[in-house]
Amino acid sequence: MRGAIGVAFAALMVAGCATTGTGSKDDGTRVRIAEDPFPSTYQRYSGAPTLITGVTILDGEGGRIDNGQVYFADGKIQAVGQTVAAPAGAQVIDGTGKYVTPGVIDIHSHLGDYPSPGVAAHDDGNEATAPARPEVWAEHSVWPQDSGFSRALANGGITALQILPGSANLFGGRSVVLKNVPARTVQGMKMPGAPYGLKMACGENPKRVYGEKGGPATRMGNIAVTRQTWINARAYKRKWDEYEKNGGDPPDQDLAMDTLKGVLEGKILVQNHCYRADEMAQMIDLSKEAGYKISAFHHAVESYKIADLLRANGICAAMWADWYGFKMEAYDAIPENIAFVDRAGACAIVHSDDPNGIQRLNQEAAKAMAAGRRAGIPISEEHAWTWLGMNPAKALGIFDRVGSLKSGKDADVVLWNGNPFSTYTRPERVWIDGALMYDANNPKLRPVSDFELGQPGEGDVK
């Protein structure tokens, strides 16, 4: 195994040789680390220019238009307003009584890495062989045939999602952001230009998994290993920086350290599994020492206790609406968590971490909004949708492209058959980059994965 990786390293080193012209002493033979060796091959599918009229618009960044219009064409949102200009040839959809939102973004999913069926042969989410494995990439485990993708599309209006490695490790590896389109390869789903993430974890899971495998076995052990790993990463980065600047013998490439170097350079965003308030505070201090920024805490069930700290440090919290009590670090979860974080001015996100929850993320947002309102916090529907739109997009570094209905953005759009905060509402149509990928009224517009072909229930409404 080790040998095989060594060979891969060598191959990559050769492949990575390229001229870039940066650095005064670079004579064109300078070794470069390939930053995108598995490039996206995603191409948008074709879509008709579409105008939706008479619809309630929640724009995903806090705006609302009643009886409004949305026009999209060529894969992009063209116009959103009370009335908009659209060419005569555009397909017109009467949205009266319905809602339009940007496509739902789930910042925390393991679809493909823990696919259905959940047999051991598919158990590809945790490289639980050492506490720090930042060299693994979630995309290399993603099985595009996971039926969960289509369920998330059809029932949840999910158009983009981050696939993360699991939380067994302190450093779980790189995440990948996908557009929720059926594809033969993961490259065909990768959202072009979306930054990578680094999955980190604190707390019970690494402690439990490695407690009997040589450690770390405690929270203090978790922090020690994490700090030491960053110390090593900074040294690695210094070596490469020195080489970039002055040439000489190239440093040995280390895939694990490449990922951490990418974090230290701000190119890779840290997505940190962490539940408890005190532990999140530890991780914030640790990140400052190491020299990186935490993009979002995930799960974050005690965010409400430190919402001020999250705001002050510009860190998002990705949370469940009502999960609680399944383990000790989830014991203090409260339904008002999301609303309290939001009220404090911090960036609140609703996430699923679950192949069932991802099908109803809109309903999870509704629960959180309702809990907040009952606690006396006035939260509008249009504001609550930022938890599914703008905020996850920001935490993923893709808000310039998705997460709200603004002209020029990707036409990832959901037409709901009613108020999407109602339990009774479902997506009626879902577009990704302007292409109609799901239509409740058209049985042919419902993906059937290879795995489902020829199986009981194939092509059913699900």
Partner 1 sequence: MADTVVISGGTVALGDGSAPIPNGQVVITDGRVVAAGDIRMKLPAGTRVIDATGKWVTPGIVAGFSRLGLVDVDAVDQTNDTSSDGPFSAALDVATAINPNAAPVAINRAEGITRAVVAPSAGKSIFAGQGALIDTAADADPVTRARLFQYVELGEQGAGQAGGSRTAAHVLLRNALREAQQVAGGGGSSRADSGRSAGGAGSDPVIANPNESRSYEARRNQDVLLTRFDALALVPVVRGRQILAVHVERAADLRQVIALKREFPALRLVIVGADEGWTVASELAAANIPVIASALSDLPAQFENLAATQSNIGRMRAAGVRVAIGTVNDDESRMAFRARYYAGNLVGLTRVPRASGLSWGEALKAITSAPAEVLGLTDIGSLTPGKRGDVVIWNGDPLDNMSAAEMVMIDGVEQPLVTRQTRLRDRYRDLERGALPEAYRH
User: Which residues of the chain form contacts with partner 1 (CB under 8 A)?
Assistant: 116-119, 147-148, 151, 155, 204, 304-308, 322-328, 331-336, 340, 344, 355-356, 359-360, 363, 366-367, 369-370, 374-375, 417-418, 421-426, 440-441, 443, 451-452, 455-457, 460-462
Please identify, using beta-carbon distances, which residue of 41 and 116 lies nearer to partner 1: 116
- Residues belonging to the chain: 462
Sequential DSSP letters for 395-439:
HTT-TTTSSS--TTSB--EEEESS-TTSTT--EEEEEETTEEEEE
Three-state DSSP class for 157?
coil
Token pair 């696919």: residue: 115
Q: To the nearest whole angstrom, how small is the minimum distance from the Cβ of residue 204 to partner 1?
A: 7
Q: Annotate 146-168 with b (16+ C-beta within 10 A) or e (fewer).
A: bbbbbbbbbbbbbbbbbbbbbbb
Please identify, using beta-carbon distances, which residue of 1 and 120 lies nearer to partner 1: 120
- How far is it, in rounded angstroms, from Cα 15 to Cα 332? 50
Please identify, using beta-carbon distances, which residue of 99 and 340 lies nearer to partner 1: 340
Please identify, using beta-carbon distances, which residue of 73 and 369 lies nearer to partner 1: 369
Please identify, using beta-carbon distances, which residue of 34 and 448 lies nearer to partner 1: 448
Q: To the nearest whole angstrom, how small is the minimum distance from the Cβ of residue 61 to partner 1?
A: 22
3-state helix, strand, coil in the chain (%, to 5): 30, 20, 45
**CA–centroid distance for 211 within its chain:** 29
Q: To the nearest whole angstrom, how small is the minimum distance from the Cβ of residue 181 to partner 1?
A: 19
Q: To the nearest whole angstrom, how small is the minimum distance from the Cβ of residue 9 to partner 1?
A: 38
Three-state DSSP class for 274?
strand
Please identify, using beta-carbon distances, which residue of 233 and 369 lies nearer to partner 1: 369
Please identify, using beta-carbon distances, which residue of 108 and 343 lies nearer to partner 1: 343
Q: To the nearest whole angstrom, how small is the minimum distance from the Cβ of residue 102 to partner 1?
A: 21
Q: To the nearest whole angstrom, how small is the minimum distance from the Cβ of residue 451 to partner 1?
A: 7
Comparing CA positions, the residue from 118, 178, 104, 173 lying closest to residue 146 is: 118
Q: To the nearest whole angstrom, how small is the minimum distance from the Cβ of residue 316 to partner 1?
A: 18
Sequential DSSP letters for 29-80:
--B---S-SS-----PPP---EEEEEEEEE-SSS-EEEEEEEEEETTEEEEE
- How far is it, in rounded angstroms, from Cα 186 to Cα 309? 37
What are the DSSP E strand ranges found in 252-380? Answer: 269-274, 294-299, 316-319, 347-350
Contact 144, 115 (CB under 8 A): no
Q: To the nearest whole angstrom, how small is the minimum distance from the Cβ of residue 243 to partner 1?
A: 46
Please identify, using beta-carbon distances, which residue of 27 and 326 lies nearer to partner 1: 326
